[in-house]
């Protein structure tokens, strides 16, 4: 003899925290600025870098905002604008990072993800400063240390000088 019985099973949902990608990398040029179509900043859409199994609305927090607080978060968009003249050299590149975490209203993502920005150096012209014209007598020696009147944001450049207008 067997008896049939109905059994109700209730399955309570458990929140799954959001999942972020492990990293994202972009390349930009020195002196990139917002609104410059020819030299734009790095832009990351965090909604494209995260998933939530429960399809919860996500919010984001920047954990590290770059070496000089160069990352800004507005909604789901992170914009990175490098410090002017960074990487302070005329060749090569330097790398900066920002990190973020997602939250679904209940839990933070377990992973803190890294946004990597490689900034390509652009050679900046040197600038001469501070010396007025000098008038000296005939057969007189006058010494000017040109390195004291020349500056360059590319700190490792070597200068070559040309003297003009000597009669």
pLDDT tens track for 27-64:
999 999 999 999 999 999 999 999 999 999 999 999 99
Q: Which residues of 32-63 are buried (b: 16+ CB within 10 A; e: fewer)?
A: beeeeeeeebbebebeebbebeeebebbbebe
pTM of the model: 0.78
pLDDT bin (cut points 50, 70, 90) of residue 123 is confident
* 64 burial level (CB within 10 Å; 0-12, 13-18, 19+): middle
């Amino acid at each position: 003899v067997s008896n049939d019985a109905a059994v109700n099973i209730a399955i309570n949902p458990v929140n799954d925290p959001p999942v972020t990608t492990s990293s994202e990398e972009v390349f930009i040029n020195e002196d990139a600025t917002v609104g410059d179509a020819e030299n734009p900043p790095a832009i990351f859409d965090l909604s494209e870098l995260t998933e939530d199994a429960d399809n919860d609305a996500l919010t984001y927090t920047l954990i590290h905002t770059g070496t000089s607080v160069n990352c800004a978060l507005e909604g789901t968009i992170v914009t990175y604008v490098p410090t002017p003249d960074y990487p302070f050299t005329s060749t090569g590149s330097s790398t900066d990072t920002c990190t973020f975490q997602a939250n679904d209203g209940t839990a933070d993502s377990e992973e803190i993800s890294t946004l990597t920005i490689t900034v390509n150096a652009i050679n900046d012209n040197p600038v001469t400063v501070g010396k007025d014209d000098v008038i000296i007598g005939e057969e007189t020696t006058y010494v000017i240390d040109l390195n004291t009147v020349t500056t360059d944001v590319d700190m490792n450049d070597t200068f070559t000088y040309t003297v003009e207008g000597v009669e």
